[in-house]
Structure 1
Amino acid sequence: MSHLPLPPTLPGGVLFGSGPEAVADPLGLYTRAQRTLGDVVRLRGVPGLYWYLITHPSGVEHVLKTRGRNYRKPDRFNAPVRALAGNGILAAEGDSWLQNRRLMQPAFHRQRLAGLVTQMAEASDAASERWEGVAAQGGTVDASEEMIRVTLRIVGTTMFSHDLSAEADALGAPIRTSLHWVSRRLTLPVTAPEWMPTAENRRFMADRSVVHSTVDAMIAERRRSGETRPDLLQMLLDARDADTGAGMDDVQVRHEALTLMLAGHETTAAALSWAWYLLARHPQALGQMREELDSVLGGRAPGMDDLARLPYTRAVFDETLRLYPPAWGQPRESIEEDEIGGYRIPAGKIVMVCQWVTHRRPDLWDRPDDFVPERFLGAGPGTFPPFAYYPFGGGARFCIGSSFALMEAQVILATLAQRFEVDLEPGQTIVPDATFTLRPKSGIRMRLRRRTPSRAPSVAPEPVRA
């Protein structure tokens, strides 16, 4: 393939190229690169260091699915993730990843997940009780903090049969600072090695110890008690390889449990924060969703059978994932030389597929920057080009927890939106922080008011700007 041209290179600074902008504003950088130079773009860091941006669905499919075996997760990504969560399925490669994926897959069959909706609803009801007190006093909440609290409770009860919400502050802060440590190592060109006793590294080790000891204690208690409970931890403990009959030891269980706990609650909480932001800004869409909720639920919490009867609520979350995908980009490393879009991709290069850019491309989406949940009503195979929409990744490494996250989000939105009016506190500057997950940089302050469900006639909302 040496005869093929390299992709066009985005101009950058003489010494550091596009590196500083990739750290400070990756979303803006990658959007500009695609709009300026097209589907496959080469970017430069320091002299001699290049990476490649792929944003067209056909190229994304090539990297994640068609030639997925040629694109591994780079060590730059895996090393800091492993430092926090061990060699779980998020960071594992090759046979190790495949074996653990096979062991875990049965735990995420939809039929098993259906039994967890009750815990999701109970956690949402607990959040509603908390919001009642705030609304009664005319107070405000930070949507980001609230969604972390409720998703942490859900991951605690569904995974460990243990309510972690009481430990949300004590556990949530170490989780967030640990993920921040990971994020810095994913984005900064130079960081102190983990063994160096810097203040940041010492803080990370202390926070990691809190998170690890919490999970280890729950695993040890389950082993000691001999109890069998209908949760994800039990499914991990009971998992057996179909060929060998071997299960996971406690270290493996911890790695996978940590991966699910950290990645699962963090990404869903981030997406739900953006959902509240969009709904608060677009009252017509919120009204449309509430009419559906009032008609189907009449003020009660949703059950598993209700979720299919709430298509607009699901569409609201699908559209949120389009505009603000928690996993906003996925790095890969080419193993062998390849061709994408008529350009040569050398071996051993970082290749970035970017949901943020693909999900907002004007050639793929009508009104790409508008919040239009209706575009997902009735959406199914063939509605959009393959990999025009991929908030959960794709190919063999498609997110194992996607069904869990979608169910969880519907339950939380349905429970709380029925009961509360939400208004954005004025004077905020709300911008995305593209680190480990796409979170609101300084949170989202919302003022809460209690509402009474009604059954007003449905009025289709006009498309509105995100």
Structure 2
Amino acid sequence: MATTTGADAPVLPGNPLLGSMFDLKNDALGTFLRAQRELGDVVRITAGPPGLRASVYGVFSAEGAQQVLAGESANFRKDNAFYQEIRESFGNGLLTSQDEDYLRQRRLVQPLFTKRRVDGYAAAVATEVATLTDEWRDRGAGTVDVLHEMTRLALRAVARILFGTDVDAAVEIVERSFPELAAYVLSRGYAPVKVPRDWPTPANRKAATVHEALYQVCDRIIAERRASDRAPGDGDDLLTLLVEAESAEDGSFDATELREQVLVFLLAGHETTATSLGFALHLLGRHPEALKRAHEEVDRVLAGRVPDAADLDALPYVTRVLKETMRLFPAAPAVGRRAVAATVVDGVTIPAGADVIVASYVTHRHPAYWEDAERFDPDRFTPEAEAARPRYAWYPFGGGPRACIGQHFSMLESVIALAMMLQKYDFEAVDTEVPVGSAITLFAKGPVRCRLVPRTA
């Protein structure tokens, strides 16, 4: 049993009336970084006016992250205000469900994410990447916002893999809806007092409209798939597999559960990959030597052909570029939990019922694990360098029993997509500094533009 005798957490100084409320709302990641630099690896951060003031405990070390996410994961639950808002906006899918609901969903979904199954999606990813690079060529695109372009790419790829041929309708609605819902979740998550969702405020009405549009497209596609006359096993898109998923112990997904899994897959399945690819192009565009090494590896290994899943191990430098990108720009830069019982993390007592933030964005910059942490250096991820660091010095996919089920798919898609784009283009960064923020996932506060330079044969 964990000890509960430790020091009191240092408190980050803030506004006398509102604590760190505006710091968190305007720059949560910068606030967490400052807390670690000034006060250490477990810091209490307060926010809100007197009488409504809330506290959150930031956990920033690799050892603390491992304790919260893995070693004592049962003591740290997804019960905080932000997860409740995500749950109400996107449903009770794998991202937000808990206890027996989560275990049942995980058992039903796990067979869809075996390495063999995921490797089979490589051709669909390659098709979408080829479509995008052809579009760049046809429109003579000189400068593009690579994060926007990668969001479109990743969304089309995951929609194709989820829905098969029903790509365009889903992409259009999701591309418009997800940012609006994410902003709504963030706003409600930080609000000291929450207006009930069924009150007819402008924000609630707008969110309800967006929510309904997402549900309608998912319900339509699910209903069409259920009504189709294809025999079991005829389809290899994820929706068909989800519809057919069942076991004697867990039964199968009903229509509501299917919709919620589809929404979570769309959110988690495109945001992570889009963030990694967009910022990888940005970083390569700022570092010509790294770009040259990546080009040389892609040219040598692929010799102009389309990559597939079997090529991943033969592209170690491209993989290291992506891992270093995910260190600097993790798609899930901070995740929340709530402590069930009092426990000690890094010598500091976290009381029962406390909200806890585990911030990979900070751990990935921790001076104990990363020298000159803001410098882009893919060689931090050689096998020897990785073996010398604590396991949770780098955890862009989370960890423990709630680690991202789709991390192999994300790496497969990212390596294939980056390799194919490097075959066709050089990238020169236009925006050298890109401020970022955090809602449900990491986002750029401005454009992430690169100049595309077609490579000559």
TM-score band (shorter)? over 0.9
Contact 1:152–1:164 (CA under 8 A) maintained in structure 2: no
Q: 2:159 aligns with which of 156, 161, 164?
A: 156
Name 2:7's counterpart in structure 1: 5
Name 2:454's counterpart in structure 1: 450
Take 2:171 and 2:104, find their aligned partners in 1: how far apart are those partners? 32
Amino acid at match of 1:256: Q
Take 2:193 and 2:286, find their aligned partners in 1: how far apart are those partners? 39
CA shift for structure 1 position 4: 3.3
Name 1:183's counterpart in structure 2: 186
TM-score for the superposition, normalised by structure 1: 0.92
Name 1:122's counterpart in structure 2: 127
CA RMSD after TM alignment: 1.9
SS of structure 2 residue aligned to 1:222: helix
Distance of aligned partners of 1:414 and 1:322 in 2 relative to their CA distance in 1, 3 Å threshold:
same
Distance of aligned partners of 1:145 and 1:154 in 2 relative to their CA distance in 1, 3 Å threshold:
same
Take 1:253 and 1:160, find their aligned partners in 2: how far apart are those partners? 12
Name 2:197's counterpart in structure 1: 194
> Which residues of 2 match residues 365-376 of structure 1 at below 5 A?
365-376=370-381
Take 1:104 and 1:402, find their aligned partners in 2: how far apart are those partners? 14
Amino acid at match of 2:163: F
SS of structure 2 residue aligned to 1:176: helix
Distance of aligned partners of 1:172 and 1:387 in 2 relative to their CA distance in 1, 3 Å threshold:
same
Distance of aligned partners of 1:2 and 1:217 in 2 relative to their CA distance in 1, 3 Å threshold:
closer
Take 2:224 and 2:169, find their aligned partners in 1: how far apart are those partners? 19
Q: 2:281 aligns with which of 254, 273, 276?
A: 276
Name 2:104's counterpart in structure 1: 99
CA shift for structure 1 position 149: 1.1
Amino acid at match of 1:180: A
Amino acid at match of 1:442: G
Contact 1:178–1:207 (CA under 8 A) maintained in structure 2: yes
Contact 1:139–1:447 (CA under 8 A) maintained in structure 2: yes
Residues 421-441 of structure 1, C-alpha deviations (whole Å, 9 max, x = no match): 222336x76211222211211
SS of structure 2 residue aligned to 1:210: helix
Take 1:154 and 1:395, find their aligned partners in 2: how far apart are those partners? 27
CA shift for structure 1 position 418: 1.3
CA shift for structure 1 position 365: 1.1
Take 2:174 and 2:9, find their aligned partners in 1: how far apart are those partners? 45
Take 2:67 and 2:4, find their aligned partners in 1: how far apart are those partners? 19
Does residue 260 of structure 2 align to residue 255 of structure 1?
A: yes
Of the structure 1 ranges 187-196 and 32-41, higher mean CA displacement relative to structure 2 is found in 187-196
Contact 2:5–2:344 (CA under 8 A) maintained in structure 1: no
CA shift for structure 1 position 116: 0.5
Q: 1:299 aligns with which of 304, 315, 323?
A: 304
Distance of aligned partners of 1:191 and 1:221 in 2 relative to their CA distance in 1, 3 Å threshold:
same
Distance of aligned partners of 1:191 and 1:83 in 2 relative to their CA distance in 1, 3 Å threshold:
same
TM-score for the superposition, normalised by structure 2: 0.94
CA shift for structure 1 position 325: 0.3
**Gaps in structure 1 of 5+ consecutive residues:** 454-466
Does residue 79 of structure 2 align to residue 74 of structure 1?
A: yes
Take 2:338 and 2:250, find their aligned partners in 1: how far apart are those partners? 33
Name 2:236's counterpart in structure 1: 230
Contact 1:299–1:419 (CA under 8 A) maintained in structure 2: no
Name 1:464's counterpart in structure 2: none
Name 2:40's counterpart in structure 1: 38
Distance of aligned partners of 1:29 and 1:381 in 2 relative to their CA distance in 1, 3 Å threshold:
closer
Take 1:90 and 1:408, find their aligned partners in 2: how far apart are those partners? 20
Percent identical residues: 36
Residues 180-232 of structure 1, C-alpha deviations (whole Å, 9 max, x = no match): 22222233434433112122221111111221111111111111113231121
